[in-house]
Structure 1
Amino acid sequence: MKFFCRGLSIIFVMFMLSACADTNQTPKYKVGIDATLIPMAYVNDQNKLEGFEIELLDAIAKTAGFEYETINVAWAGIISGVVTHKFDMSISSITILEERKKNMAFSTPYLRSGLAIVVRRDDERIKSLQDLKEGKMKVGAQRGTTSYFFLEKHPEIEKIAYEKYNHAVADMIKGEIDAVLGESTGTLYYKNHDNEIFQKIKMVEEVLTEEYYGIIMAPDNKELKTTLDKAIKTLIKNGTIERLHEKWELGLAASVPELK
């Protein structure tokens, strides 16, 4: 009986140690990313993900103490993937909107940006949003983005939906559409990294709107939101996000938000 009780004690201790080990395991999350948003997140020549948001995600993970697996998906699946729990969170220059908060939670904002009109460099017809409306021009925008939603509010403009921002720019250069509306950070990439294309385009106005980007997650995942919020605030305070902003040459197209 003594040996039987001792055996049970050993089994109990081993069970408790195993339970503690499981509790102390580093959490690992699945992260959805649309790696076509240069310079925010894209696939480089070595077939690896890089960009401002890729490095930001890595800094957040190290600060918060979690591991992650990135899942590269088209923009159309970025939000739905979180809603259907395909991934735990998504980071892809997702603008914080009240209507989106009905289906998802947002982290504290990590970047302030806006929308900009891009036209061919030799096009002198377009100098403002008003010119697009009065000329009833064709304007491309990535489907499902705030750029596309913005155009929906201006029926005078003929909006053309694209799956990718760079496809819209390519069509504009060929003369198939008159302009492109998109994130100002995307235009700056061409300026800093693809001079051949940048010589063919120009930004009409610096910023049409003011937007804030946040990481999205399921609305009931309050623990993850608390973790992300704390890490982002730390990275804003210690200057990490500002350094990434400078490294990726986001310039006037975007800025680091002030903590409230």
Structure 2
Amino acid sequence: MKKALLVAVMAAVLTLAACGGAAETDGNVLRIGVDDAYPPMEFRNDADELVGFDVDFAHALGEELGMEVEFIPTAWDGIFTALVSGSYDVVISSVSITPDRMAEYDMTDPYLANGQVIVVRSDAQDITDPSGLAGKTVGVQIETTSHASARKYQEEFDFQLDSYDQIIQTFMDLKADRLDAIVVDGMVAAEYISSDPGSYRVTSAKLSNEPIGVCLKKGANPELLENLNNAIATLRENGRLAEISMEWLGADYTTEIDSTLW
């Protein structure tokens, strides 16, 4: 009798343990790495809530995939290292698709068109195109495609290039006259210009067109990659992607996606 009772108790314990293990390894949550200091793409509002284009896009992806989404804020300079180490499943944080990134990571189909521009103070008149950067001090966020684009022109026009951890620091130093110009994503430039009227302006046509996609660890989850591509296609076809772009960016940047920088 005692032996039978012990067997029953052990079976119950093992059943509970199995249930607990299943909960801990629930695959119905999409863990997302995000640099939460990059308005209007992903940033904290006055209530310290995570908002922006990529945030709404990620929620829309989750709905299409039938998954909950969990955002894991991570500084940009460590965001890909944390992806590879398994801290999250994907990076959704304005990740430009480049040959180097495609070789090192899995990238989805693009969901947004981006491009680099030069930003100067509103009263600056001596920089009208990349050649005007010669002899100047230019700021960029470190290890971004803005950084890569600026390096490309630095080789030709010989200017000082200062790199920053966060994009907001470049705008602060530009306004304080510690920088002569910034190379930055056009959509981000538009956000800072509209939020601080009279301080900044874009001085040239786009230096590039860059597709933006979702980034995954190389070979880690082919099924998720395929499902994400299908979800992106659905969001484009049903108009939801364009709606999110209009809401956060003021225009539809989800069509005519091309790449000329690389």
CA distance in 1: counterparts of 2:204 and 2:131, whole angstroms: 12
CA distance in 2: counterparts of 1:40 and 1:71, whole angstroms: 15
Question: Matched residue of 1:60: which SS?
Answer: helix
Indicate whether 1:86 and 2:87 are aligned.
Answer: yes
CA distance in 2: counterparts of 1:33 and 1:39, whole angstroms: 13
**Equivalent residues of 1:233, 1:259 under 8 A apart:** no
CA distance in 1: counterparts of 2:78 and 2:87, whole angstroms: 10
User: Residue 234 of structure 1 corresponds to which residue in structure 2?
Assistant: 234
Shift of 1:257: 3.0
* Matched length: 239
CA distance in 2: counterparts of 1:123 and 1:245, whole angstroms: 30
CA distance in 1: counterparts of 2:175 and 2:85, whole angstroms: 38
**Equivalent residues of 2:141, 2:164 under 8 A apart:** yes
One-letter code aligned to 2:138: V
Render the CA deviation track for 1:176-230: whole Å, top value 9, x for unaligned. Answer: 11000000111111233x1xx2311100123110100001011211011011101
**Equivalent residues of 1:141, 1:181 under 8 A apart:** yes
CA distance in 2: counterparts of 1:52 and 1:72, whole angstroms: 15
Indicate whether 1:166 and 2:163 are aligned.
Answer: no
Aligned identity (percent) is 27
CA distance in 2: counterparts of 1:29 and 1:232, whole angstroms: 15
Question: Matched residue of 1:202: which SS?
Answer: strand
**Equivalent residues of 2:107, 2:214 under 8 A apart:** yes
**Equivalent residues of 1:94, 1:213 under 8 A apart:** yes
Shift of 1:89: 0.5
Question: Matched residue of 1:245: which SS?
Answer: helix
User: Residue 7 of structure 1 corresponds to which residue in structure 2?
Assistant: none
Shift of 1:85: 1.5
CA distance in 1: counterparts of 2:99 and 2:255, whole angstroms: 18
Question: Matched residue of 1:100: which SS?
Answer: helix
CA distance in 2: counterparts of 1:30 and 1:144, whole angstroms: 23
User: Residue 223 of structure 1 corresponds to which residue in structure 2?
Assistant: 223
CA RMSD, aligned part only?
Answer: 2.4
TM-score by length of 2: 0.84
CA distance in 1: counterparts of 2:150 and 2:80, whole angstroms: 20
- Consecutive unaligned residues of structure 2, counting only runs of 5 or more, are 5-10
User: Residue 210 of structure 2 corresponds to which residue in structure 1?
Assistant: 211
Render the CA deviation track for 1:67-110: whole Å, top value 9, x for unaligned. Answer: 12111111112211112222110111110011112221011111
Question: Matched residue of 1:149: which SS?
Answer: helix
User: Residue 47 of structure 2 corresponds to which residue in structure 1?
Assistant: 46
**Equivalent residues of 1:188, 1:250 under 8 A apart:** no
**Equivalent residues of 1:83, 1:103 under 8 A apart:** no
- Consecutive unaligned residues of structure 1, counting only runs of 5 or more, are 5-10
When structure 1 is superposed on structure 2, of 225-234 and 80-89 the one drifting more is 80-89
Shift of 1:30: 1.5
CA distance in 1: counterparts of 2:240 and 2:222, whole angstroms: 25
When structure 1 is superposed on structure 2, of 81-90 and 47-56 the one drifting more is 81-90
TM-score by length of 1: 0.85
